[in-house]
Structure 1
Amino acid sequence: MTQPIPAEWTPHRAMWVGWPSHAELWGEDFAQAQDEVEALVRALAGPGREQVKLMVGNDEALPGARARFEGVDGVEVVAARFGDIWLRDTGPIFNAGSKTAQTFSVNGWGGKYDYPHDDEVADQIAAFSGVPTTRHDFILEGGALDHDGEGTVLTTRQCLLNKNRNKNWTAEAAEAALAASVGAKVVVWLGDGLLNDHTDGHVDNLARFVAPGVVACPIAFGRKDPNAEVYDETARLLSETTDAMGRKLKVLRVPSPGLVLDADERPVPASHMNFLIANGAIVVPTYGDDVAARLAGEALATVFPDREIVLSPSNAVLTGGGSFHCISQQEPA
């Protein structure tokens, strides 16, 4: 039987991070996105933290990335090819000890963003890491799942059962596929994700395991939070759920960023849930509201007392459709 994927809080031997490499995709946000990812990498790297493998997606971006991190301990710049930086979705999912990894088919998030080389990312990372892979023919993005390390997997119906991924999937078919590929014993089915989420509701924007039997999910911040009802329904579903070890899940409500608008005054899927659990640190994306960010950091500190809570801006990265968890993938030690 396939062993469960390790929880993200277990030690890592390395952390992959995607570097904004294609100016044409980012437009006027390109330079700021690079600055935000640089800050993330510097928060991750160093003694007692992560060995960062910074994946650069084309030759044009390589000199600039190398110059930024020259002499920075714990950062290795890796020349590669990708369409965009969302390594959580296109990269491999590593098994315990990174002795093996699981890879999946990708289709540009339901055909919306089909870029060259994204279907090669998982094999590139696995080859660079020296890890053999098992290939699965169904479509799956890593950000659609969250793992507790004991066989409980969080996901959303909006994404995993979306006909733009695996059109004939039922919940039963999906559960069988996840049992075979990532060792899922219990699949926790949440409903919809965040409003205007390009990923069709990835769970890493909505709910995350933070300890055995404990799941964090947002609580609305401010009176105009567009996802208030989704957050409350998510918390309700989680509180009624039993995990693979027979525990009733406990729910940690973390203040959301509230209403965040893009340049056209449309709500964007800003989420503190896209935090990254790293060796020695929790890096929390922030979106301009210092009070919301502080409250989120304080909530997460209650379950990660032994790690530094780093609040780091992610407004420009969000214009691409995700945040820090979306652009990263860990190799368990």
Structure 2
Amino acid sequence: MNDHVVDRPSVSGPNRRRFLAATGLTAVGAALAAATQGRAGAAPRTQRTAAPAGAFTVPAEDAPHTRTWMAWPDSTTIWGRSLLAGVQADIALIARTVAKYEPVVMCANSASAAKARSMCGAFVTVITSVPVDDCWMRDTGPVFRTDGAGGLDAVGLNFNGWGNKQTHAKDARVAAGIASYAKAAYTSAALVGEGGAVEQDGRGTLMATRSSLVNRNRNPGKTQRQLETALCDAYGASKVIWFDGVNGQDITDDHVDATSRFLAPGEALVQMPLASDNDVYAKDARQQYRILTESTTSAGAPMGVAQLQGPDYGRIRSGDPEFLASYANYYVCNGAVISAQFGDTGADTAARATLGRLFPGRTVEQLDIDRLGTGGGGIHCVTQQQPRP
């Protein structure tokens, strides 16, 4: 499963799931997008020394937030004129919903800031000092870290448009711009990647797909071990659990955050396909589940793995067989879990109940964001947390 996930035939516009055709990627670019290194099944998951006390680390997503960062899309070149309005409505809905629980700052271009303010409402702060190309703040924004002693800094993952598949001149500068606005010291990681490509438990363990990061379109010439070191340095972690992933089928090369998530140190969640589903994403999800059940944390504890059942494609609102609906692409904010619903009433209800059980004390909000999904994304994709120091 990928994190930019949804495809509906009823709405016109470019489709991120079929990006190779939609962007006119050259033969060379397509070959690079398909090339990965070190894809040896459940290959060794090496472990490094844990970060010392007081070092900067990326907290788990359920740690208290200062604010949520988002970005306002306004490009008809990227979205198409008819789809853009619906995507903006979905972004505004997500922003208004998160703003019920914590402050939201929306980065917008000057020409579209007034529309963003009108659609998002008075409880969302819209700024124009950080221009954007698109709305995928999870991938373009900084990864904030804390040191447990009141310190905050930020790391940029050197966003390159998912391997130069989309224009990103502005988005490449978003991480540094937000860090400056937040008055956080900023450094660049020693790799190219995206926030949606990495999950962290806040206690030293990461998970990621090789297809997205051990890929020449992001990190030519770098081995899995070199990238693991760079990830651990950036996140203040000591172990990476790797999945093979799915290469070249979506613009992200299969981000982990639509399939597998951390609930707590030693606890993970995987969205599972129906038993009858057997496409590449279903096989990917099953492999991720198997690998996690065989894994341990950075501290050596066994991993408990919960299952979140995905919907029945025959019952969701979309009739497109390529529609990949991810409940797991939820966002945890202060006091709430913001997730999607897809029109399969039984599965939607069950997903809400599962998330409520897994996140006791938090309100579960389910939103119809099919327009955003048509362009290939979900709620986690368009949000980025700034943790409290």
| SS of the residue 1:180 aligns to | helix
TM superposition shift of 1:154 = 0.7
SS at match of 1:248: coil
Aligned pairs for 1:1-333 (under 5 A) are 1=51, 2-27=55-80, 28-46=82-100, 49-56=101-108, 58-72=109-123, 75-79=124-128, 80-96=130-146, 99-193=152-246, 196-221=249-274, 223-224=276-277, 226=279, 227-259=281-313, 265=320, 267-333=322-388
The SS at the match of 1:326 is helix
Q: Distance in 2 between matches of 1:195 and 1:293?
A: 29
How far residue 224 of structure 1 moved from its aligned partner, in angstroms, is 4.1
Describe the SS at the equivalent of 1:100. strand
Offset, 1:312:
0.6
- Where do 5+ consecutive residues of structure 1 fail to align? none
What does the per-residue CA deviation read over 1:178-227, in whole Å, with 9 as the maximum and x for residues that have no partner? 12221121100112149933200111111000122111111113734633
What do residues 162-192 of structure 1 show as CA deviations (whole Å, max 9, x unaligned)? 1211011222111111122211211001121
Aligned pair count reads: 328
Q: CA deviation at 1:147?
A: 0.5
Q: Please report how far the alpha carbon of residue 89 of structure 1 lies from its aligned counterpart in structure 2 after TM superposition.
A: 0.8
Q: Which has the higher strand share?
A: 1
- 2:96–2:121 contact (8 Å) kept in structure 1: no
Q: Which has the larger radius of gyration?
A: 2
SS at match of 1:196: coil
TM-score, structure 1 normalization: 0.92
In 2: Cα distance, 1:89 partner to 1:101 partner? 14
Distance 1:113 1:92, change over 3 A: same
The offset of 1:133, in angstroms, is: 0.4
2:110 match: secondary structure? coil
CA apart distance, 1:287: 2.7
Q: Which amino acid aligns with 2:298?
A: A
Deviation string, structure 1 residues 65-123 (Cα, Å, up to 9, x no partner): 11224433xx2111131111111111110001661111122221012113331111111
Query: Contact 1:41/1:52 (CA < 8 Å) preserved in 2?
Result: yes
Change (3 A) 1:23 1:262: farther
Aligned 8 A contact 1:193 1:205 in 2? no
What letter is aligned with 1:312? L
Structure 1: distance between partners of 2:317 and 2:176: 34
| Stretch moving more, 6-15 or 77-86 | 77-86
Between the aligned residues of both structures, percent identity stands at: 33
DSSP-derived class of the 1:272 partner? coil
8 Å contact from structure 1 (residues 104, 136) kept in 2: yes
Change (3 A) 1:197 1:206: farther
Q: Is the 8 A contact 2:211 2:247 kept in 1?
A: no
**Pair 76,31 (structure 1): closer, same or farther in 2 beyond 3 Å:** same
CA distance in 1, matches of 2:220, 2:312: 33
- Residues 317 and 344 of structure 2 are in contact (CA less than 8 Å); yes or no, is this contact kept in structure 1? no
Q: TM-score, normalised by structure 2?
A: 0.79
1:225–1:65 Cα change, 3 Å? farther
Q: Matches of 1:328 and 1:161 in 2, distance apart?
A: 24
Contact 1:257 1:286 in 2 (8 A): no
How much does 1:237 deviate?
0.4
Deviation at 1:324, TM superposition (A): 1.0
Q: Hey, what's the Cα distance between the residues in 1 that align with 2:112 and 2:336?
A: 28
Q: Secondary structure at the match of 2:191?
A: strand
Segments of structure 2 that go 5 or more residues without pairing to the other structure are 1-50
3-state secondary structure, aligned to 2:203? coil
Please tell me whether the aligned partners of residues 313 and 321 of structure 2 are also in contact (alpha carbons under 8 angstroms). Answer: no
Partner Cα distance (2:156, 2:235) in 1:
10
RMSD: 2.2
Amino acid at match of 2:131: R
Alpha-carbon deviation of 1:270? 2.7
